[in-house]
Structure 1
């Protein structure tokens, strides 16, 4: 058991180390004149004050505390600095504190900080000649010190022993230091240590549990449920403490899956264990003589136990039909009282848990149903935690497709999907997750009797399914034209309900993902054999046109056929036998201008949107004109119009109209002549 003295040793040692001033045993009493350094600088530059620097650092490890910065500031300060010997003497009396490193908790650092600030007077640099007998000074900590000048200079703190100033008037740039031979202690710290000493005498409720052999399982349960700090706090509490035999009986009731507390390993089970333990705690001190019949609220919110008269004593009633007998009373602790009982008290949540142990989860139900084996495979293949989710608390409503339903989906998807293992890329697994979560409704267990015709139900995937009831049969509508039929409704699980259906439901998101993506303009040209020379021209121009026309758009492109490019090459003469002959920088620029004369940016203009003689401004800068007298023609700066031979080829970033002539702007005509 710690005494006040022993408890204070490390704190006082730290304080000495914080404020000790370098001095040797043979130093005289003359005032020490120093360079204009701060109080902290003085400590850092003196060998005898290394412990002071260490102590300041230790105290500053407490969040919100910065003594070093404070004692480096302008001040002025008056500091009464205990010597290293003062701290050494204190440490020798303290149990469990051999060095400054032992001050490693926030509570210990806070006490250290309060002791240190009890040695500091802010706002003045009081030399020894300024001190008068009986004078009181208020410290940064808040309490006062009293000066006594009988037979020397003494500092009176809250203890019975004064400190003597052995070296006065050590000057610093921001104040003055008086070296003293004792660590000063404020009343606040003495009271705190006295309270700690009283606690040590009785021990907390946790200490009682730890020290009682028949409560070893309760001890393990309190640790596992992370309630040690709670039951070690101020309280007061009353704990009805189940014996080891009581816990063994509970484990027997729970069945083969619960052989020890180690089997409480899921989040749900850990929460249940904590609830059970809190159900044994009353937030007041109730001794056996205070017990009276009636309900008593427990630390488990909204749950009460009942004190029931039984002969000349009482029993404790819980949510079960079996009461607990009190086997030991009035085991006093520093923060309350304990009574031992012969049964683990069970709140209603624990009773519900025990009842559900016999019921399978949704996943277990699927695993045990042969016709849902592909659904289980799909949940595993998706690799998105769906198995864990559907094994969780719920509640969930699951529309579970049969094996035949999954086989039909795979047939629909084509040769690339022969089994669920073919969903093996990240994108395909995401698609599988989208489909599976479209079969799950979270937050409710909706039995068939609670479904209504036309009801829209939001799924975990985010889109709705529709309930259709026809001739007493429930059907589920998805984003396709074919509804699913509920072949087996209302398969109850511990965390929800399952309705077996004959079709895999598909949300619009999945349908969109399964449709082949529409090509962009460049991809469309590459896929069209009669536009291969246009593709070659885009590449040969080397002007970023491939990247541009593969971008967002929208664009309208008048795309010349291979024959149109061949005709242009013939017109250009013997120097241009192929597009590769556009090989100089000037010729590539020329080719780029021709190509951009075929492109309209910012709009996808369908043939039906064109009007006769409509002006169309191109990316090259000059205009084209739509002529609609005989079909659709495009007029450039030559005397021959281009015919639109295939209009309105839709792409993801615009529209393409195939034409039978390469269009030429005036800029190119001028350059070619």
Structure 2
């Protein structure tokens, strides 16, 4: 495939993505990168996992003999650098054809491009902190073009993309270095020079024909084979102009699924009449004599290259869908893919003229079970019907009528992954209880006594299933969704597969009724129940009870709480350190000792927040329920908790989730200054 240094069809949308790396402006502990004036900007970036792509980009650009960005940014400065995160570089790469990683910038021309982009993130001669920036301020970069500062709830940096593209957000401001300041941003900035080049300038390869476009696009490999098989390659390579509505590979797979066992691939179109039909179908996707770009689309019928057959352009929200002779419209998934002899738009469905509809209808209709057996992507549904061992195969092979929402193989694989290590395949439903559970799931996909086509379904409709509970119908932008008892609905990816005894709607998710959810997901334990269920926290539970200060009730309450939970060994080590008077927690038996134990325990509790380990930052202060602070010490993936002693505790079991908070197992009992003073009163 050609490597084309240009944006994909949705250029602006792809680069406008905003990633989840963010910070809370109201917290003192937002900075994920510790300030270190002893190291320069390059060393600062090299020390941060979140900036590894930036470091790699600098190195890749420097592979060109006359480029030395690392040397420059390691110099005296001062510099201000807007440093994109790894996710920001990922977004840029996804928006470029032929660039899966930074290693693909492997020519001098491409390294120049990369250097141009990177130098647009650098301001020379000043170390500008966020407090030095003002709203509307323009700053000239080393690349020569300006960026614009936008101040509001966040500090944002606007590049040369249009007003409809989000500015880059400063997610970590004011990271000090010995030769300047780094502000971490969530988007790669683009100067006008790069945008002009990417949108058809000097760096874009010469446009090929529409056939070249199809050949160069992985998602159109089946269309490529179909064009060759139907003998249309020469036609679509001619002067044109043409507009091609290009079905993706998934669209062809869906069509083959409808056609049944006799049509597993394009190779099965081997008779003269079948090849003629394929040619007619393909011509039905071509508008001859016109280059219709996205901006030119308008409602109404449009004649196609298949004589006397028109498609219908239909408004749908802010866009358009394509109507054919069937009841299902095609969605436009990619627009304005330019070629030397026209333009292509990708669509998610093979458009069918009436002759193709008649051909499909003429195929021998099968029962719902036969349809499922004949469809490769429903093989796990068939396996599940057999494994349930409840006569469902015979039932769905009967007179009906039935409406079946049929999950794909991928949907069943996703369900098995959700269920965990005990369920690697449907064969693992091997006990009577598990088979009964499988029956509940499968019958929740069946509506008995009716053949409901997609045109019979309405938004907000509730339908009772054979299992007994209802499924809901949601219709958005022409797509039908099936709502079950979970928070994620299923999408009908192939509607109205008619059989002799009903209709099948293929869906992308296994539906789950509330009855099954209640069996699979017993209530999540609270923090106290979680501790009680972990053998290595038995002494913590004993300590909570021994303190006799209502801590069991508190930590069973609504929360949220964060608890740093010492292991049994941590408590044993504490008892050893306390000396001969404390052989067990039962030795905390006076009121003063119980109060001391309560003070120790509340020093392990953060109230009002469930703090995940991934949100902890180096030297972050953590105020405890006891009143004194702890500090998080972050070393890569290792996290220590620093108390008032000389020894940090190591987090050995992070992120144990409870219904009212989160527990992190630690290997040491934390001690506040209050307890140290009580245990070792100062001498006078």
* Fold match by TM threshold 0.5: no
* Higher relative contact order (CA closer than 8 Å, sequence separation 6+): 2
TM-score normalized by the length of structure 1 = 0.31
